[in-house]
Each structure stands twice: as structure tokens, then as C-alpha cells.
Amino acid sequence: MPGSYPKVKTAVVGCGSISSIYIRNLKSLFTIIDLVALCNRTREKAEEKAAQFGIPKVMTLEEIAADPEIELVVNLTPPGSHYEVTKRMLEAGKHVYSEKVFTTDLSQARELADLAKSRGLYLGVAPDTVLGAGIQTARRILDTGLIGNVSSGLVSVTRSHNLMSELFPFLQGQCGCLPYDVGVYYVGALIALLGPVKSIRAFAAPAPVHEKQLLFLEHTPASWQIPGNNLVCAGLEFKSGALVSMHFNGNTVGDEQSRFELYGSLGMIKVGDPNVFNGRVKLLLPESQEVEFPFTHGYDGTNTLSAPTSFDGSGHRGIGVAEMAYALRQGRPNRLNQDYGIHCLEILTGIDEAAATGSTYEMKSTCHIRPLTPGRYSTVWGSARADAESALID
Ligand SMILES: NC(=O)c1ccc[n+]([C@@H]2O[C@H](COP(=O)([O-])OP(=O)(O)OC[C@H]3O[C@@H](n4cnc5c(N)ncnc54)[C@H](O)[C@@H]3O)[C@@H](O)[C@H]2O)c1
């Protein structure tokens, strides 16, 4: 039962765009977390968020490291800072949950995983949308055998990532390209649904040099090129034997267009956008119309806490932190652990390597994500909220 475990004293490091949804959910939604402190390189940002959400303390990284009461640190800095912040916090004996991607370099991710293991500390890594209602419902359909054995899949995401990098400048930096920034949600969802990847073949292309288009942003440079491959076409062979076609194109136009289909021996499913918590799953069986499958799990991203906010669209981010906090209290592995973070990152770097060498990339890492307990919803009756959080307890 939620409430029967001691709360986990937690600090958030990095108070930028995504932090509001985390801070709101960690403070008010997930009862296992006691959010006691915020930290940001420029202190004013942390002070602003602390005042907005009623968080007691603003601290430096070193003050967090030295505070024996803080057990868990949530790293919401940009990918280029993930390694240094996570490493410092692990060295200080803190459990760490990091936003995606784990690090910008696979060897650094492995180093952090070894460091955590040697100190008996927990590590967790986003994307945590895989624990949301959409992907968990898709997993339930697969686990109950409704579509039989999955033999293949097709996933695609496209958008004008170059234009998007004007609005979100961190996309102009390391791991800002579409495969690492958005494709990772598709990679995480595929792992959660089909298990680990065995080998990869791929083609790739860089982003073009982008010239500033949006008039109202005064401090944007005149032009830049997003580093890395912004377009990839890859073939993934899963250990299960399933073959998946992957297409991520950030060099095209418009908002995000998502496609995610899995084909089985008895039927097929169309999975909703894995970058959100409420992607609806559609089921197709022989001799039937396509039907929308009802959610079998809670955490569909709906705000059950307060009047609508501008950041509600980011859904139930923080669920991975809460699941890790219960894992810590229960002394069991967390679902989105270092193996998941490393496997996601190795798939992305493996695609780059396969494209650069023209040969097959054989995966070295593996991981396994257990599904959450179904049937727990976050229905609201007036001020009473149902107990979706018990799905995070094994
Ligand atoms: N923006 C989104 O919509 C979004 C969505 C999902 C996940 N994410 C992920 O969340 C993370 C943060 O993204 P964001 O959009 O909030 O970035 P952001 O650039 O808006 O904010 C990052 C904050 O971290 C601070 N920071 C950087 N290095 C630091 C350090 N060493 N110590 C303390 N503070 C430091 C910066 O000052 C900044 O305020 C990234 O990993 C990103 O991939 C972002």
C-alpha cells in the first residue's frame, strides 16, 4: 500500500523547461516522494520554481552532496551535463534518476552503471512514458497473447526538428538530434514491448545547416547545424526474432507525426505516440474492424491534481522516479534501471555505427522490463483519488 513505506527525501537538479511537470508530480502526486530541494546552475531559476511550487530549500550541488538526509537526486539537466551531475551525486552516495539520454557517450554510461553497482546505489533513466497507460496497455495485449507472436514492426517519427531547435536551444547541442531527443521514446517503447535488441543495420544523414526563421527570438544565432544524424532508417533484429523497421526524420516539415505498428501471428496493434502517456492502442484481428482498446492501466497523463496548467501535456513524468523509490524501499530492482538506459543508448549509438561502417552492429548490452500490475487507475471522485500508485509496488 502507498503510505506504508517511508517517504524518500529527494532533490531535483536542473530547473528548465521540463522541470515544472516533474516538480508538481513529485511534490503532489507520488506520495512516496518527499521533494525537499531544488538546484540549478543559475540559482534564480531554482528559487523561482521553489516559490512557485512551495519547495522548502534551494541548494547547490555540493550542499545536496553533503546533506545526509537526501537519498535520491533527479537529474533534469541537458544531456551534456548528465554525466558530471550523475557521477557527482553517486560519489556522494545518492541514488540517481536521470532524464534521457543516460549520457552522451556509451562508455560514460557504463562507467556510471559500474559506479552505482559498486556502491549499492540505484540508477534510473527516462523515458518513463513506457510506464504510462498507453504502452502498458500495449504490453498487456502482447502478454495475453491476443495478437500471437510478433514477427515484425514499423515505427516512424518525423518533424521539423531544425525549427524546433530554435524554440528549445538545448537541441542545438549534444544528443539534440531527432533520434536521440525523440526517437529514444520509440526505442524505449520497443524494448518495453518486444524485449532486447540483438543486431542493427542502418542508413543515416545529418541535419542541414539551419538558418534562423522565427522572428521573435532575439538571441538566436543566424545559423547552426544540429550535431549527429537527424535522419535514420534502420532495421532492428530483436532477440525474440521480431524484425522492426525504424524511420526517424528530423529534416522534414511540420509537427510530430507518429507511427508505431506491431504485426503478430493472430492480429496486429497500432500503438499511440510513445512520447506521451495516453497514446491509444488500436487492435486489429481477422474479420473485425479496427477497435480502440480500453486502457488496462492508470497514469494516462491526465492532470488529477489541480486546475489545468500549461505543462499538463507532459503528463505523468516522474512515474519512473516513484517506481524507483518503491524499488529502493522494497529492496528490488527498479524497472527503468541502468540496463534499460544503457540498452536505449547503445541502440542509438549502434544505429550511428552501423550507418557509418555499412556493417551489422551486434548489441552488447541487454535488459528486461517487467510490466506494471494492471487494473489500478487514478480515477477522481471530488477530492478523493483512486490508488494508481499501488501499481508501482511489487
Ligand atoms: N523540454 C522538454 O520538453 C523535455 C521533455 C522530456 C525530456 N526532456 C529532457 O529533460 C532534460 C532537461 O531538458 P530541459 O528542456 O528542461 O532543458 P533546459 O535547458 O530547459 O533546462 C536545463 C536546466 O539545467 C540547468 N543545468 C545545466 N547544467 C547544470 C548543472 N551542472 N548543475 C545544475 N543545473 C544545471 C540549466 O541551467 C537549465 O536551467 C534533458 O535531458 C531533456 O532531454 C526535456
Provide the grid cell at 240: 525474440
Phi and psi at 348, nearest 5°, equal -65, -45
Which residues, 6 or more positions from 288, have their beta carbon under 8 angstroms from its beta carbon?
none
Query: What is the spatial distance between Cα 340 and Cα 325, in angstroms, rounded to a whole number?
Result: 17
Q: Please say whether the beta carbons of 138 and 241 come within 8 A.
A: no
Which of 13, 18, 125 for a ligand 1 pocket mutation test, highest count of atoms within 8 Å of Cβ?
A: 18
Q: What pLDDT score does 384 carry?
A: 67
Q: Give residue limits of the domains in the chain.
A: 8-129+316-389, 144-296
C-alpha 173 to ligand 1 mean position (Å): 12
What is the pLDDT at residue 219? 77
> Which residues line ligand 1 at a C-beta cut-off of 6 Å?
13-19, 39-42, 45, 61, 76-79, 81, 84-85, 99-100, 168, 170
pLDDT for the residue numbered 383: 67
Residue 390 in grid coordinates: 499501488
Name the amino acid, one letter, at 82.
Answer: H
Residue with cell 515484425: 152
- What's the gap in Å between 26 CA and the centre of ligand 1? 17
C-alpha cell, 246: 525504424
Nearest CA to ligand 1 atom 15: 17
CB 27 within 8 Å of CB 55: yes
Whether residue 124 contacts residue 102, with contact meaning beta carbons closer than 8 Å, is answered with: no
User: Ligand 1 centre from 353 Cα, in Å?
Assistant: 27
- Closest ligand 1 atom, residue 82 Cα: 41
Alpha-carbon distances, residue 245 vs 142, 180, 349 (angstroms): 19, 17, 17
Distance between first and last Cα of the chain: 10
C-alpha of residue 356 to centroid of ligand 1, in Å? 29
> What is the spatial distance between Cα 83 and Cα 152, in angstroms, rounded to a whole number?
35
Q: Give me the residue label for grid cell 529534416.
A: 251
Nearest partner of 59 among 30, 108, 99, 94, judged by Cα: 94
Cell 556502491 appears where?
Answer: 119
Half-sphere exposure of 80 (CA within 13 A, CB side): 9
* Phi, psi (rounded to 5 degrees) for 264: -120, 175
Number of residues in the chain = 394
Class (C level, CATH) for 8-129+316-389:
alpha beta
Residue 85 Cα: closest atom of ligand 1: 31
Residue nearest to atom 32 of ligand 1 (CA): 41
Please state, in angstroms and rounded to a whole number, the distance separating the CA atoms of residues 250 and 59: 37
What pLDDT sits at residue 157?
A: 98
C-alpha cell at 185: 521514446
Q: Which residues, other chains included, contact 310 with Cβ-Cβ below 8 Å and sequence gap of 6+?
A: none
Q: Phi and psi dihedrals of 258, rounded to 5?
A: -115, 140
14 — phi, psi (to 5°)? 105, 105
What CATH homologous superfamily does 144-296 map to?
Dihydrodipicolinate Reductase; domain 2 (3.30.360.10)
Per-residue pLDDT of the chain (394 residues; tens, 9 = 90+): 777 899 999 999 999 999 999 999 999 999 999 999 999 999 999 999 999 999 999 999 999 999 999 999 999 999 999 999 999 999 999 999 999 999 999 999 999 999 999 999 999 999 999 999 999 999 999 999 999 999 999 999 999 999 999 988 889 999 999 999 999 999 999 999 999 999 999 999 999 999 888 877 777 888 999 999 999 999 999 999 999 999 999 999 999 999 999 999 999 999 999 999 999 999 999 988 999 999 999 999 999 888 899 999 899 999 999 999 999 999 999 999 999 999 999 999 999 999 999 999 999 999 999 999 999 987 777 666 667 899 999 9
Cell numbers placing 39: 538546484
Distance (Å, whole) CA 61 – CA 139: 38
**Residue whose entry in the numeric block shows the C-alpha cell 537538479:** 13
β-partners of residue 8 are: 33
Residue nearest to ligand 1 atom 9, measured at CA? 99
Q: Assess contact for 33 and 325: CB atoms under 8 A.
A: yes
Q: What is the DSSP letter of 160?
A: B
Residue nearest to atom 13 of ligand 1 (CA): 78
Atom of ligand 1 at shortest distance to CA of 42?
A: 37
Ligand 1 nearest atom to the CA of residue 39, by list position: 33
In terms of Cα–Cα distance, which of 363, 337, 359 is closest to 349?
363
Q: Where are the beta strands (DSSP E) in 166-301?
A: 197-206, 210-211, 223-224, 229-238, 243-249, 257-264, 268-270, 281-284, 291-293
Report in angstroms the alpha-carbon separations of 13 from 38, 54, 76, 222, 297.
6, 16, 6, 31, 30
Distance of CA 316 from the midpoint of ligand 1 (Å): 17
Q: How far is the CA of 79 from the centre of ligand 1 (A)?
A: 8
Give the span between the Cα atoms of 8 and 23, in whole angstroms.
14
- Which residue has 497523463 as its cell numbers? 301
Residue whose C-alpha is closest to residue 373's, from 314, 306, 323: 323
